[in-house]
Chains A and B, each alone.
Chain A
Amino acid sequence: MSTVLDIHDLRVDLAKTGGKISPVGPLDLTMEAGECLGIVGESGSGKSLTLKAILDLLPDGLARHAGHQKVREGDVLVERDPAALRGRKISMISQEPGAALDPLMRIGDLIAEIVRQHSGVSRSDAQLKAIDLLRRVGVPDPETRARFWPHALSGGLKQRVVISMALACRSEILLCDEPTTALDVTIQAQIVDLLRDLQKEEGLGLIFVTHDLALIRQIADRICIMYAGLVVESGPSTEIFARPRHPYTQALLAALPDIEQSTGRLVPIEGTPPNPRDFPVGCRFAPRCPKATDICLTSRPELERSASGTLTACFHAEGGS
């Protein structure tokens, strides 16, 4: 395995405060070729901002800061500006695929335009390529559908079209920002299946952001659990779910209803996540943590590697060293 993306010291700051208040980070992210990295967290944990920061697509008022952001070019990792990656090496799909589609262009033309941008083939070849791409992402009857306007497509089909646009860019990494949240579960299953297929067949790397733990369990090889802008635990998906070490991860799993279970009480997490303006000085989860002690309130735990290969940022991690 080789690293394709290596981000160090990524931060999202409130621009006006000159970096004094950071809703996200600092955090490090690395990604191996062809893997699916999952980022999970509740609303406000900064998971979407992290993803947007990779391509510097942050909303107004937020500033990106990164120690370095390197991508693989051939055999070496080189530092690249987000603007140089956007729509090229790295593409992004969001919760609202409709927002990424020009309502005044037929979807075939839309994809063909991207094909031409990236390969400079003729118009008619680009149209054929567009139909191929639509077929690749499982759009039924692509010849007819290529003539459709975006509004005529269902949410699931729109998401497929947006994924085909990322393929048209010949991207190697696809950032997925809750791509199935607005979809029904049977359609979600289809889209997840498509993404996994692309990951396997085309070697497409995925960074998949969601609040749904069960979904991330299904799709991700490696996951990062985020809380209040920081990664609190990361590691191989199977390991994290089998032996969660951070109290927050454990609490999340206890709060989650599973379809295989019909009884037993769910355990909510008391309190609410902190606002970035008053993040606690110590561990950000300490005020809600059942295990918190004095040290948690005064100093911040760093991510530390456990014997099983997971990284956990907690002074009282389960089975800690």
Chain B
Amino acid sequence: MSAFLKVEDLTVEFTVGGTKKAPAILRALRAVSLDVEKGSVYGIVGESGCGKSTLARVLSGLTPATSGNVLLEKQPLSQARSLAERRRIQMVFQDPGSSLNPSMTVRRMLAQLLIHHSIVPRTQIENRCQELMAQVNMPVDALGKKPGQLSGGQRQRIAIARALAMAPEILIADEPTAALDVSVQASVLNLMADLIAELGMTMIFISHDMAVVRRVCDRVAVMYLGRIVESGPTEEIFANPKHPYTNALMNAVPRLIPRAADDYQMLKAEQPSPLAKIEGCAFRGRCPKAGDICMTQDPALAGSAHQVACHFPRPPQQEGRS
């Protein structure tokens, strides 16, 4: 099956000062490749600074790529996207407080989009707005409100409605629940799951929260310092993480039901600066298994369904982690 959304060797570099002769270059993404199947939810996890948000921004056309391609149904998406191309990929941001215009009512916000993209005839706009409210489980009178009159969870629903207004094929959600309380997070997550199932959308779900990712995503890619270090089906990754970073990341998550014994080794030190020039594996400085080869050779992402970029991947675990 060919991929619906394909990312090939995507690299993004930013110049962040330095001198003209020796500019300081921040490598946000280093040769990232992804295949996303139609109708699936693809999760991208990693810590701050790993490049996950940059990836989202490139996919939605907000940030230009330094090199590499983004293909939607085998058609490369140009850097300057056409109106139709932009419509197909929509994004929901982390903080709805700052991604919604505070001086516009929800109705105006949605109507503006519907008109600009000529999605429905003018006479149908009010109807479409009301439909959208119903889709995100909001009362119709919310259309007359401004973001400041809504709670955080409600604002995020509006942000989702705004993305849905475009009838996108791909929804990119960048930490959509990170700013919400758990009780509200649950309702937003449920809503997103329902929408994906009902509308058959494809979703790229970006998060640092492993527990949320496990529930929401079909496939997961783990990123570290601008690279994908492991990717595969969600259950496979959680049951049998091969990369030492994935393993450490999962073990660092606090649990409601504490485990009795574990092979958990806390990661030492912190993620190196993305400004630094890296030789060998980017994770070697924190890796409990790093050997000589890791100092010189950057491991390539290998494998078919379950891919891992490590010279010393963890052997499959015999007993299931309960």
Whether the pair B182, A213 counts as a contact (CB closer than 8 A) is yes
Q: Is A261 an interface residue (CB 8 A)?
A: yes
Interface residues of A in 213-241 (CB under 8 A from B): 213-215, 217-218, 241
Tell me which residues across on chain B come within 8 A of A289, comparing CB atoms: none
Interface size class of B (residues with CB under 8 A): 35 or more
Whether the pair B266, A189 counts as a contact (CB closer than 8 A) is yes
Residue of A214, A218, A251 ringed by the most chain B CB atoms within 10 A: A214
Beyond A217-B258, A241-B256, whether A268 also contacts B183 by CB under 8 A is: yes
Interface residues of B in 156-207 (CB under 8 A from A): 181-187, 189-190
Whether the pair A253, B256 counts as a contact (CB closer than 8 A) is yes
Chain A nearest Cβ from B168, distance in angstroms: 24
Whether the pair B257, A258 counts as a contact (CB closer than 8 A) is yes
Chain A nearest Cβ from B116, distance in angstroms: 33
Which residue of B has the minimal Cβ distance to A45?
B181
Q: What is the bound-complex CA distance between A156 and B258, given in angstroms? A: 24
The contact of A261 among B184, B215, B267, B271, by CB within 8 Å, is B215
Whether the pair B252, A185 counts as a contact (CB closer than 8 A) is yes
Interface residues of A in 158-215 (CB under 8 A from B): 184-190, 192-193, 211-215
Whether the pair A217, B186 counts as a contact (CB closer than 8 A) is no
Whether the pair A262, B214 counts as a contact (CB closer than 8 A) is yes
Q: What is the bound-complex CA distance between A266 and B322, given in angstroms? A: 20
Whether the pair B253, A217 counts as a contact (CB closer than 8 A) is no
Q: Is B269 an interface residue (CB 8 A)?
A: yes
Tell me which residues across on chain B come within 8 A of A186, comparing CB atoms: 47, 248-249, 252, 266-267, 270
Whether the pair B270, A213 counts as a contact (CB closer than 8 A) is no
Which residue of A has the minimal Cβ distance to B257?
A260
Q: Is B112 an interface residue (CB 8 A)?
A: no
Whether the pair A265, B183 counts as a contact (CB closer than 8 A) is no
Chain B nearest Cβ from A233, distance in angstroms: 16
Q: Is B250 an interface residue (CB 8 A)?
A: yes
Beyond A140-B269, A186-B267, whether A43 also contacts B181 by CB under 8 A is: yes
Interface size class of A (residues with CB under 8 A): 35 or more
Tell me which residues across on chain A come within 8 A of B253, comparing CB atoms: 185, 214, 259
Chain A nearest Cβ from B155, distance in angstroms: 12
Tell me which residues across on chain A come within 8 A of B183, comparing CB atoms: 42, 251-252, 255, 268-269
Chain B nearest Cβ from A2, distance in angstroms: 28
Q: Is A15 an interface residue (CB 8 A)?
A: no
Chain B nearest Cβ from A32, distance in angstroms: 22
Tell me which residues across on chain B come within 8 A of A308, comparing CB atoms: none
Q: What is the bound-complex CA distance between A214 and B208, given in angstroms? A: 15
Tell me which residues across on chain A come within 8 A of B257, comparing CB atoms: 258, 260
Tell me which residues across on chain B come within 8 A of A121, comparing CB atoms: none
Which residue of A has the minimal Cβ distance to B217?
A262
Which residue of A has the minimal Cβ distance to B153?
A272
Q: What is the bound-complex CA distance between A184 and B208, given in angstroms? A: 8
Whether the pair B252, A266 counts as a contact (CB closer than 8 A) is no
Q: Is B125 an interface residue (CB 8 A)?
A: no
Tell me which residues across on chain A come within 8 A of B258, comparing CB atoms: 217-218
Task: Give the tally of cross-chain contacts (CB within 8 A).
Answer: 118
Tell me which residues across on chain A come within 8 A of B254, comparing CB atoms: 188, 192, 212, 214-215, 217-218
Tell me which residues across on chain B come within 8 A of A268, comparing CB atoms: 183-187, 190
Q: Is A154 an interface residue (CB 8 A)?
A: yes
Whether the pair B256, A255 counts as a contact (CB closer than 8 A) is no
Which residue of B has the minimal Cβ distance to A241?
B256
Q: What is the bound-complex CA distance between A161 and B237, given in angstroms? A: 36
Q: What is the bound-complex CA distance between A269 and B186, given in angstroms? A: 8
The contact of A188 among B181, B211, B212, B252, by CB within 8 Å, is B252
Q: Is A281 an interface residue (CB 8 A)?
A: no
Q: What is the bound-complex CA distance between A241 and B214, given in angstroms? A: 22
Whether the pair A255, B185 counts as a contact (CB closer than 8 A) is yes
The contact of B255 among A140, A218, A269, by CB within 8 Å, is A218
Which residue of B has the minimal Cβ distance to A271?
B183
Beyond A186-B267, A211-B182, whether A266 also contacts B189 by CB under 8 A is: yes
Q: What is the bound-complex CA distance between A189 and B286, given in angstroms? A: 14
Tell me which residues across on chain A come within 8 A of B267, comparing CB atoms: 186, 189-190
Chain A nearest Cβ from B258, distance in angstroms: 7
Whether the pair B181, A42 counts as a contact (CB closer than 8 A) is yes
Q: Is A321 an interface residue (CB 8 A)?
A: no
Annotate B35-51 by CB proximity to A: 1 below 8 A, 0 otherwise: 00000000000011000
Whether the pair A263, B186 counts as a contact (CB closer than 8 A) is no
Q: Is B235 an interface residue (CB 8 A)?
A: yes
Q: What is the bound-complex CA distance between A212 and B185, given in angstroms? A: 12
Annotate A242-281 by CB proximity to B: 1 below 8 A, 0 otherwise: 0000000001111111111111011111001000000000
Tell me which residues across on chain A come within 8 A of B182, comparing CB atoms: 42, 211, 213, 252, 255-256
Chain A nearest Cβ from B273, distance in angstroms: 9
Chain B nearest Cβ from A98, distance in angstroms: 15
Chain B nearest Cβ from A244, distance in angstroms: 11
Tell me which residues across on chain B come within 8 A of A189, comparing CB atoms: 252, 266-267
The contact of B186 among A190, A192, A218, A255, by CB within 8 Å, is A255
Whether the pair B190, A265 counts as a contact (CB closer than 8 A) is yes
Chain A nearest Cβ from B290, distance in angstroms: 16
The 8 closest A-B pairs by CB, nearest first: A268-B187, A266-B186, A269-B183, A184-B47, A214-B254, A268-B186, A255-B186, A189-B252
Cβ contacts A to B, 17 pairs, < 8 Å: A42-B183, A184-B47, A185-B210, A190-B267, A213-B182, A214-B254, A215-B254, A217-B254, A254-B186, A256-B256, A257-B189, A257-B214, A259-B210, A259-B214, A259-B238, A266-B189, A268-B186
Task: Knowing that A217-B254, A258-B256, A269-B183 touch, tell me 17 more A-B residue pairs with CB under 8 angstroms.
Answer: A184-B208, A185-B47, A186-B47, A186-B266, A188-B252, A189-B252, A190-B266, A241-B256, A252-B183, A255-B185, A257-B186, A258-B257, A259-B238, A261-B211, A266-B186, A266-B189, A268-B186
